Structure 1
Amino acid sequence: MHSINLPSKPATSPHPIFNLSFRIFFSAAGLFAIVTMLLWAFVFTGHTDIDAQVLNPLYWHGHEMVYGYALAVIAGFLLTAVKTWTGVMMPHGYKLLGIFSCWLLARLSWMAVGLGMTIAGSSLSWLYIGAVFDLLFIGWMAFVIFRAVLQVKQYKQMGILAKLALLTLGNGLCYWGIINADMTMTKIGIYLGFYLIIGLVLTIGRRVVPFFIERGLSVVNSQGDQEDVILRNSKTQDIASLLFFLAFFIVDLFYPNKYLLTITALGVALVNLIRLIGWYHRGIWQKPLLWSLYIAFLGMCLSFVLYALQPWLGYAHSIAMHGLAIAGVGMMTVAMMTRVSLGHTGRSIHQPSKMVNVMYGLMVLVFISRVLLPLVDIDHYLLWIMVAQGAWIACFVLFCISYLPMLARPRPDGLFG
């Protein structure tokens, strides 16, 4: 038992949105998801002056989805969850504003590149600025998490810290590749970051999905007594999922071999499908905050199957990759943000806005339009991409309308958080 030194006076911040990290980072992620997808639609159709000699537009999009949007959600979740896990107060108020400002300044730099803006005739200067603030953001976040974990000696959290360290490395490789005109290095940096985030989703999802389902369901037996829901999980599944995913990650990124890719991708899919069977309860379909998490995990499993089949059926590798991104990053983060925001602002997780069903439905449409429809109708590929972009933007517009007022207001119970 470790004693935690409580602060001598109550925590304060200049505005409720800086009380805890989930408030500012979830708000920013929602707005950024709209802005960056709108800008990508213009970049994709050639309506901006982005300098392709400095940065491949596809890598611009990939970097900002991984190190911009996804890392904002991860920062909001981790800097809030670590407070719960360790009991140590995490940055709030002006310190939180400092961490957030680093993220924001890096994003503005990348937007300037996407818009074709230059400094002294070159857009590369914007990327130098972005590199400084991006690495400051990740480094600062990792430091405060490490300090909290070390303070209470929760060494089991070191795996998450290792992933954050590798994310810092991946982002550094992106910038190194861009500055040295090495597209291969840039690609490695983006994919390294992407697969590390999927690894984080698998790690955190293994903890929180069954936790949320168990606490989100109320089962009344024939005698009228409430019974607890206990979901199955196992250490063997955890180890198998980690090993298969690590092997898949290495094969797909560094050692392309269709036999190994198929075996490892099917291994990840099978282990996590077994997990899903153990987590299943028919009551989830009555709770949108639960079935959204379940569908996100199922979409990840389907995407790993697409990776396994891709070398043999010949469709584009990007289809499987986008499936994993939409399910594992898009759907999972929307599901997590909508649930976490309710609980941590003192609102009932059993009474979410009816709008969440529409939001989740739109994210499912993104998956169908960007991943499944191109498999059967490649002739209308551009149309399906535009539908997916529109559904993504609509999903986050609804998120911002429904959740930003909640995230910017004090808790109804008057507590700090």
Structure 2
Amino acid sequence: MATTAESMRRYTGPALFSFGFRPFFLASALWAVLAVPIWIVSLTLGDGMVGATDGRAWHIHEMLFGYLGGVIAGFLLTAVPNWTGRLPVTGRGLAGLFALWVAGRAAGFAPASLSAPAAVVDAAFLIVFAAIVWREVLAAGNRRNLPVCLMVTALALANVAFHLRGFLPVGPGAERAAVAVIIGLVALIGGRVTPSFTQNWTLAHGVAARPAPFGRFDQITLALTTVALAAWVAAPAALLSGVVMTVAGVANAVRLLRWRGWLARREALVWILHAGYAWVAIGLVLLGLSAFFPAAVPFTAGIHAFTAGAMGVMTLAMMTRATRGHTGRPRVADRWTTLIYTTALAAAVVRVCAPFHAEWTQSLLGVSALLWSLAFLGFVLVYGPMMLRRSI
């Protein structure tokens, strides 16, 4: 069987389409820079609409299915060949899939008369991508990663349901389902790589202590998290959902502590993974408490702990690490990378705090949006050149 390295040597086309992380990480980060300001401008200077869509709905869709859909594609198109031993999708196939993602972003600006075909174009990307992931995993007999296939499929279906909200009684359940699926991916994959990369760092630097290995506690925590997220999707305000969410949040916090992130506090490329995962626990607890004390704990704080926190920070952590590793650079964060991380963390903190301070909410939202865009602009400027050039 040909190796991934052999495949890269055979590929002679543009560097951008030599590996999945290159086009998707770069374009998704650029979209993250632009999408939030577009929404804010539509609210403050326009009629609150983007194309034929309410600006808030457009913002939610583009963050969940646009930005995150692209990042997940870039990550899995890079990781799945390592999991399966099969050749990666490159060249024309990768360019075609990327073009489908770009078409989906453009479809969001379509007028009302073209809303139906625009929805089809947008939905096509995640459906095709899910089919590719299924093909690769099944062809390799890689049963361990079937849950990843199921999650990507669930995300594709949530996108379809999001577009059908005007015709079916879906309501906000589609967006909650998408958030739940992505947080599930963070818990599953983040739960693999965070302790693994921490252990690699401790071994390389002669640190005697080690993260706790994956075991029964991790299995129980993942199962509890799955149940909690499912309960939240079905009945977010129910007291039982609140109980399960809170317990799952505490369990994830304990899981995180077992990985001993402080051992690698000198390396930002490692500690940022722990900081990103911490937002999973925070989001679960905040959403759990909001079911009991809705007036004191706004549910939007928990949602943005998931989105701006867990998703935003963890995706930046994985994009920077994967880009450095797959372009032949040392897996060590420079000062610009550390600045990107701290800016993203600040954006998440401000966004989560905003609904707790009603008199300052709008100002804090603006600050958070600015910090968010600056963090991803930093990624584009620092890591974009790495993805446009061949590996060193």
Give the TM-score, by structure 2 length: 0.92
Q: How far does residue 229 in structure 1 lie from its aligned partner after superposition?
A: 5.9
Which residue number corresponds to residue 56 of structure 2? 58
Structure 2 counterpart of 1:100, which letter? F
User: Which of 1 and 2 has greater Rg?
Assistant: 1
| Distance (whole Å) between structure 2 residues aligned to residue 265 and residue 49 of structure 1 | 33
Q: Aligned in 2, Cα 1:13/1:140: closer, same or farther, shift over 3 Å?
A: farther
The answer on 1:324 being equivalent to 2:323 is no
Does the 8 A contact of 2:235 with 2:241 survive in 1? no
- Map Cα deviations across residues 273-301 of structure 1 (whole Å, 9 max, x no partner): 12111111433210011111111111221
Which amino acid is the alignment partner of residue 374 of structure 1? Answer: P
Instruction: State the shift of 1:137 in Å.
Output: 1.6
Which 4+ stretches in 1 moved above 3 angstroms? 5-10, 217-220, 226-230
**Contact 2:20-2:73 at 8 Å conserved across structures:** yes
Q: Distance in 2 between matches of 1:256 and 1:393?
A: 30
Superposition map of 1:83-122 within 5 A: 83-110=81-108, 112-113=109-110, 118=111
Provide the alpha-carbon RMSD of the alignment.
2.2
Runs of at least 5 residues in structure 2 that lack an aligned partner in the other structure = none
Contact conserved, 1:22 with 1:80, CA < 8 A, in 2? yes
**Cα displacement (A) at 1:227:** 5.7
The answer on 1:369 being equivalent to 2:350 is: yes
- The 3-state SS of whatever aligns with 1:185 is coil
Q: Which residue of 2 aligns with 1:255?
A: 235
Shift of 1:5: 5.2
Within a 5 Å distance, the mapping from 1:1-400 to structure 2 comes to 4=1, 10-48=9-47, 50=49, 55-110=53-108, 112-113=109-110, 118=111, 123-125=112-114, 127-178=115-166, 180=167, 184-218=169-203, 226=206, 230-313=210-293, 314=295, 315-350=297-332, 352-375=333-356, 377-400=357-380
Amino acid at match of 1:198: I
Letter in 1 for 2:143: Y
Q: Secondary structure at the match of 2:147?
A: helix
Cα deviation for residue 159 of structure 1 reads 0.5
Distance 1:207 1:253, change over 3 A: same
Q: CA deviation at 1:169?
A: 1.1
Give percent identity, aligned residues only. Answer: 25
Question: Offset at 1:14?
Answer: 2.3
SS of 2:165's equivalent in the other structure is: helix
CA distance in 1, matches of 2:318, 2:269: 8
Hey, what's the Cα distance between the residues in 1 that align with 2:257 and 2:48?
Answer: 49
Aligned mates of 1:276, 1:6 — CA distance in 2: 34
| Contact 1:163 1:196 (C-alpha < 8 Å) held by counterparts | yes
Distance verdict in 2 for CA 1:268–1:50, change over 3 Å:
same
Alignment partner of 1:253: what SS? Answer: helix
Change (3 A) 1:169 1:124: farther
The question of whether the paired residues in 1 share the 8 Å contact of 2:39 and 2:50 is answered with no
Contact 2:210/2:260, CA 8 A, preserved across alignment? no
Cα gap change, 1:144 to 1:219, in 2 (>3 Å): closer
Residue in 2 that maps onto 1:223: none
Tell me: CA distance 1:357–1:333, structure 2 relative to 1, closer, same or farther (3 Å): same
What count of residue pairs does the alignment treat as equivalent?
Answer: 388
Unpaired runs of 5+ residues, structure 1, are: 221-225, 413-417
Shift in alpha-carbon separation, 1:103–1:264, aligned structure 2, 3 A: same
